[in-house]
Amino acid sequence: MPIYEYVCHACGFAKEHLQKMSDAPIANCPACDSKEYIKKVSAAGFRLKGSGWYVTDFKDKKTTKPDSSTRNEKKAETAQTDTKAETSSTESTPAATANTATAAES
């Protein structure tokens, strides 16, 4: 059976009542007997038990994924190697540069 919270807007009295879901709400405040005894809306308290739930099956398991910093270091090393290869292939000797400049002037 669920527990319902009630509060009286006339005197401020608050109490929890254990009731069936099919029971009618309590109409009168037990403290001041006013009709302003209202059922509050509150969060349900329940626990997920058994298998198949995130809390019971997956929450505490640690996966062994590669560290992102290690992955980033490998990418940086690859990029540096590629840059060095491009630089060495585009570099030319001073004699070749002079020959090209002379041919362009003609």
Domains for the chain: give ranges and CATH numbers. 1-43 (2.20.28)
Q: For 75, phi and psi rounded to 5 degrees? A: -65, -40
User: Residue 95's pLDDT is what?
Assistant: 53
Closest by CA position to 5, among listed 13, 58, 53, 15: 15
Q: Using a cut of 0.85, tell me whether the model's pTM lies above it.
A: no
pLDDT for res 63: 60
Summarised one tens digit per residue, pLDDT across range 27-68 is 999 999 999 999 998 777 777 777 777 777 777 766 655 555
Find the farthest-apart pair of alpha carbons in the chain and give their distance in angstroms, rounded: 111
pLDDT band at 106 (very low <50, low <70, confident <90, very high): very low
d(CA 96, CA 104): 12
Element holding 4 (H helix, E strand): strand 3-8
DSSP designation for 23: S
Percent with pLDDT over 70 in the chain: 56
| Predicted local distance difference test score (pLDDT) of residue 90 | 52
Distance CA(81)–CA(74), nearest Å, equals: 11
Q: Positive or negative, the Cα torsion across 84, 85, 88, 89?
A: negative
